[in-house]
Each structure stands twice: as C-alpha cells, then as structure tokens.
C-alpha cells in the first residue's frame, strides 16, 4: 500500500520493539471480539433456522439472545471490531516498511470486508428485534388503512433484513477473517513466505490451518461467552425460567466442548509448521500455555454440562480469553523472530537518517555480526561444519576478493556436492557487504 508507506516514520530499534508490544495489545482486543461476533452470528442464524423447522420457541428466543449478547451495541462494534484492526494496519505498515510482502494489503482488505460485514450483522440484530415486536402486535381492525399498509411494509422489510442480512454479513465477515489470517500468517512466516499471488496466499496450507484454528477458537469462545452471560452476568434472570436456562446450558456446553476438542492438535501442528530458525523457547511456552488453558476449559465445560455446576460459567470465558491471548503472543514472538533481520535494516536506516539530521560526517553502518547471527548462524560455524562447511575452510579463496564473496552471499550456487545447496538469504547489497566484511575480519583474526 503505497499511500501507507508515505505515512511511515523511521523507527529506532527500541521503537520497533515497542510496536510489537502494542500489536499484541490491539490484537488481544480485536481477535476475541471478532471471533465471538463470527461464532455468535453463525449460532444465531443456525438456531433461528431450527426454530423455523421445529417451531420450538426456545430456539427463537435463543437465536435472539445470542445475537444481542455478542454484538452488545454499535459503539462496542466500532471500538473493539474496527479501531484495533485499523491500529494494527498502521503498526504493520511501520514494521514491514519496504518489505515485499502482502501483509498490509491483506489487512486493508480484511478491514474493508469486516466493516461491511459488521454493518450487515448489526442491521440483522436490530431487524430481528423489530421482527419480534411486529409479530407480537395484533392489528386493530379499526386502524387507519394507510397506517396498516405502512405497518405491513415495515414488518416485511424487517423480516427480509433479519433473514438475509445475517447470512450475507456472516459470509462477508468470514472473507474478512480469511484475509486477516492470511496477513498474520505471512508476517509470522516472513522469511519463508513464498506466495506472491492473492489466491495462492489464501489457499496456502499454513493459512488454511490458521483459519481452522481461528474458527475453532471462535465457536469455543462464543459458547463460553453465552454461558458466562447467561449463567453469571445475567445471574438474576437465570432462575426466571429454569427450563430455558437448562436448554441454554445443555446446548452451549456441548457445542463449546465439541468445538474445542481439536484445538490442542491444531495448535501443535501450527507450532511445528514454523521454520526452525524462528522457533524459540518463548514460542513453545506460550503455545503450551494456550493448550493447557484449553484443557482447563474442557474441565469447566464438563462441570457445567454434567455436574450442573453453574459457578464455572464465570471462569470458562476468561480462561479461553487467556488461551487466545497466549496464542496471539506466540504468533507475535514468531513474527519478531522472523522479521529480526528486516527490523535491523529499518533501525539502521533510522540511525543513518538521525546521523544526517545531526550533521555528522559518518553514518551508522550495517552490523555484520548481527546480520550474520540472524541470517547465517543457524547453518554455519567458523571452525566446524554444520549444515554448510566451516567458514575457515572456504574463506581463504576469498581473501582479496571481497566482491566475489558478496556476490556469492547474495546469489549462492552449489559448489561442494557433499553439502546441500545454500538457499538465497534475500539480502540487500549493503547487508551482504556487511556480512562479507565480518567474515573476512574474523578470518584475518584467526591468522
């Protein structure tokens, strides 16, 4: 997005680190809310359809209650559904400035689809309320004919909106979520992302895996939210109709447990889909924390469903919120690791601009050692072979030939058949030059 690039300000290494923390915060607000909106809308439409088939009034009431529970009001939809995503777009534009990757474009498309989808879903919510009001009103035979005609038109319109806007809004919201998941996946696998086209990116296996995780989390969290609101938040109302409370409890606890069963397996697959160079201890810690919290939610679902212990309705929602936040942090840690080299480039550019503004004669150069540690150290060592040969064995032929070494680093070709081909590290000329200087300096020290 070229216009966003014009808004980007140079960032120091400290500011880049701060942006990562801010990103965790805004996504911790956005993801749970939009998940509940998606899951709640799906459930509301599903149980509304069951009412029309079975004519069971509890399904009608449950459908209406769900959409009112999850949407809260228009202001919450804007504050938690749109503002955090807009903030995330601006943050990603800063963190991935000059990077040739579709993350910001996908997030912008996600924002557009979510804006339309949320508008239609909130229209569905209020039209459902109007439809219920109209259905409960009996026309007086003495009513004015024009007023009666207006009444019938408005009733028909609200009925149309409640039947169609919910489904359309859900589909559009799903497309927006798909783009969002593709954006996050591209950022967390920054160094290995190789899907330049929109269709190939959306259909990438890692994107589809993360989309499945998002949907499973959405349904699980939605049912936990229903239990929390009905059994705890509206505690005074649950005793007004005991049979309806049991109806809600049975459906939400069973559906939540079913939706969450597959989550630990999916999270484990997601964890091991990251490149080895991006995996760190903290990523494992947050992934395991998310899985353990989901297992705890299993226990709460069981206690509510089988033991009829409604006290756990106040805990299960927050446990799953923490599980989703742990998963978000895990992804952001992976993104931090994947974009470490790019962040180094951005901070170096900041130092260069700052030096020029200060009128200093010299500027900060790329740090060859830092670039080497990020891009090369996982496969190479100086004094022993790892994935590739030992540097001290091959560097002698490049003494006095720094330009050739830079060219090889930027576009490696297979030389020794005993070793696998070296992948292209995607370095800029200045970065390759800095690494080459560092290698030759270390070799000179050895001599």
Q: Does one domain contain both 293 and 439?
A: no
In a domain, 120, yes or no: yes
Full residue range of the structural domain in which residue 426 is found: 365-446
Q: Read out DSSP for 253-278?
A: HHHHHHHHTTHHHHHHHHHTTS-GGG
Helices 313-338 and 145-188: crossing angle in degrees, nearest 10, is 50
As a whole number of angstroms, the distance between CA 366 and CA 331 comes to 27
Report d(CA 393, CA 96) in Å as an integer: 37
Together in a domain, 253 and 369:
no
Instruction: Kindly write down the DSSP assignment for every residue of 52-72, as one continuous string.
Output: HHH--HHHHHHHHHHHHHHH-
**pLDDT attached to residue 384:** 84
pLDDT of 146? 62
For residues 335 and 223, membership in a common domain is answered with yes
**Would you state the torsion angle of the CA atoms of residues 153, 155, 161, 163, taken in this order, to the nearest 10 degrees?**
-120
Alpha helices in 368-425 (DSSP H): 368-375, 391-394, 402-410
pLDDT of 363 reads: 45
User: Do residues 66 and 118 share a domain?
Assistant: yes
DSSP string for 410-445: HS-----TTSPPPPP----HHHHHHHHHHHHHHHHH
Same domain, 68 and 207: yes
Residues 376, 228: one domain?
no
Q: Could you tell me which of 274, 289, 160, 293 has the C-alpha nearest to residue 224?
A: 293
Closest CA to 5 of 102, 96, 87: 96
Give a yes or no: residue 147 inside a domain. yes
The answer to whether residues 310 and 391 belong to one domain is: no
Helix (H) or strand (E) holding 222: helix 205-228
| 356 falls within a domain | no
Q: Is residue 151 part of a domain?
A: yes
Q: Alpha-carbon distance 383 to 86, whole Å?
A: 49
Q: Cα(213)–Cα(386) distance, rounded to whole angstroms? A: 35
Give the closest residue to 373 by CA, choosing from 342, 341, 402, 343. Answer: 341
Do residues 181 and 270 share a domain? yes
User: Is residue 351, in this structure, part of any structural domain at all?
Assistant: no
In this structure, what is the dihedral angle of CA atoms 167, 172, 175, 176, given to the nearest 10 degrees?
-130
In a domain, 411, yes or no: yes
Angle at which helix 242-260 crosses helix 57-71, to 10 degrees, equals 60
| Alpha-carbon gap, residue 347 to 327, rounded angstroms | 28
What does the pLDDT read at residue 361?
45
Q: Dmax of the chain from CA atoms?
A: 107
- Asked if 379 and 284 sit in the same domain, the reply is no
Task: Give the domain CATH number at 408.
Answer: 1.10.760.10
The pLDDT assigned to 236 comes to 63
Taking each continuous run of H as one helix and of E as one strand, the counts in the chain are 18, 0
Mean pLDDT in each 10-residue stretch from start to end of the chain (447 residues)? Answer: 65 87 96 97 94 90 92 93 96 88 94 96 86 63 61 66 84 98 94 86 95 97 94 72 90 94 95 83 95 96 90 92 97 89 76 68 64 82 84 83 73 72 76 83 79
Q: Is residue 359 part of a domain?
A: no
For 28, the token pair is 């911790």
Is 247 among the domain residues?
yes
Could you give the 3-state DSSP secondary structure of residue 366?
A: coil
| 234, 277: one domain | yes
Residues 141 and 76 in one domain: yes
389: left (phi over 0), alpha (psi -120 to 50) or beta: beta
Confirm if 16 and 351 have CB atoms less than 8 A apart.
no
Instruction: Quote the pLDDT of residue 309.
Output: 86
User: pTM of the prediction?
Assistant: 0.80
Q: Do 223 and 314 reside in the same domain of the chain?
A: yes
The number of distinct structural domains making up the chain is 2
């Amino acid at each position: 997005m070229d216009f966003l690039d014009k808004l980007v300000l140079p960032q120091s290494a400290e500011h880049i680190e701060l942006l990562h923390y801010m990103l965790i915060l805004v996504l911790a607000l956005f993801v749970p809310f939009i998940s509940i909106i998606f899951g709640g809308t799906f459930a509301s439409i599903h149980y509304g359809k069951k009412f029309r088939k079975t004519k069971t009034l509890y399904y009608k009431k449950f459908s209406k209650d769900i959409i009112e529970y999850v949407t809260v009001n228009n202001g919450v939809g804007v504050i938690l559904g749109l503002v955090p995503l807009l903030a995330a777009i601006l943050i990603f534009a800063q963190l991935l400035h000059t990077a040739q990757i579709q993350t910001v474009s996908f997030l912008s498309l996600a924002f557009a689809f979510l804006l339309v989808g949320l508008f239609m879903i909130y229209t569905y919510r209020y039209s459902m309320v109007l439809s219920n009001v109209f259905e409960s009103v009996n026309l007086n035979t003495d009513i004015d004919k024009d007023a009666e005609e207006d009444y019938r038109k408005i009733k028909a319109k609200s009925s149309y909106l409640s039947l169609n806007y919910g489904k359309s809004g859900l589909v559009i919201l799903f497309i927006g979520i798909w783009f969002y998941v593709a954006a996050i996946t591209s950022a967390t696998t920054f160094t290995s992302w190789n899907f330049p086209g929109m269709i190939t990116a959306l259909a990438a296996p890692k994107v589809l895996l993360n989309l499945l995780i998002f949907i499973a989390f959405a349904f699980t969290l939605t049912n936990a939210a229903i239990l929390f609101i009905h059994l705890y938040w509206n505690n005074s109302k649950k005793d007004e109709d005991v049979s309806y409370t049991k109806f809600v409890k049975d459906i939400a606890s069973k559906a939540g447990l079913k939706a969450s069963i597959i989550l630990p397996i999916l999270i484990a697959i997601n964890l091991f889909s990251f490149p080895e160079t991006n995996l760190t201890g903290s990523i494992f810690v947050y992934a395991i924390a998310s899985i353990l919290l989901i297992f705890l939610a299993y226990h709460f679902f069981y206690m509510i469903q089988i033991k009829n212990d409604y006290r756990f309705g106040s805990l299960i929602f927050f446990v799953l919120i923490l599980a989703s936040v742990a998963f978000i942090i895990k992804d952001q840690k992976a993104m931090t690791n994947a974009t470490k080299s790019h962040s180094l480039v951005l901070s170096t550019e900041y130092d260069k601009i700052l030096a020029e503004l200060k009128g200093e004669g010299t500027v900060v150069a790329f740090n060859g050692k830092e670039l080497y540690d990020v891009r090369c150290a996982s496969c190479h060592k100086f004094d022993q072979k790892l994935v590739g040969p030992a540097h001290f064995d091959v560097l002698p032929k490049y003494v006095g030939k720094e330009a050739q070494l830079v060219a090889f680093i930027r576009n490696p070709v297979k030389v020794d058949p005993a070793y696998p081909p070296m992948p292209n590290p995607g370095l800029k000329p200045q970065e390759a030059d800095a690494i080459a200087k560092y290698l030759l300096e270390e070799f000179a020290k050895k001599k």
